[in-house]
Amino acid sequence: MLPKLLKVSLLMLPLIVAAFFLLNKTQSIGVVSGIFLGLGSILVSAWVIDSFFEREWEVFNKVFFLSVIGRFFLVLIVFSILLGATKIDEIYFTVSFIISYLCYSMTEMIFFNKLLVEKSSKK
């Protein structure tokens, strides 16, 4: 699942390049920071799914939901630090983070659903 998410994240590369050419410095840094914060969170989730999916269902559920809570607080802390301690454009950062996080989350759920379908068809 992790390699598939990395391939999908390459689709965001034109947006990142366009941000540097079309926006001023603080806006483009805000866009790129938002995209990478969303990507980092989803990559951690994909790693958890890849690492624990084949284990017992109770173990996987426990680790997955604990990682959701941990990722939420980690993203909240990094989000607050980036907005409070840097001079990036807050609107561009926030909007790009929300959009990238939603796109990556939908992609993650599609891949996760495929894993569940494959696992249930093996039984």
pTM of the model: 0.79
Which string of b and e fits 59-98 if b means at least 16 CB within 10 Å? ebeebeeebeeebeeebeeebeebeeeeebbeebbbebbe
Separation of alpha carbons 5 and 43, rounded Å: 7
Separation of alpha carbons 77 and 93, rounded Å: 15
Q: Give the end-to-end CA distance of the chain in Å, rounded to a whole number.
A: 21
pLDDT tens track for 34-59:
888 988 888 888 889 888 888 898 99
Contact 71, 43 (CB under 8 A): no
Provide the residue ranges of all domains of the chain, joining segments of one domain with +.
2-117
Quote the mean pLDDT of the chain.
86
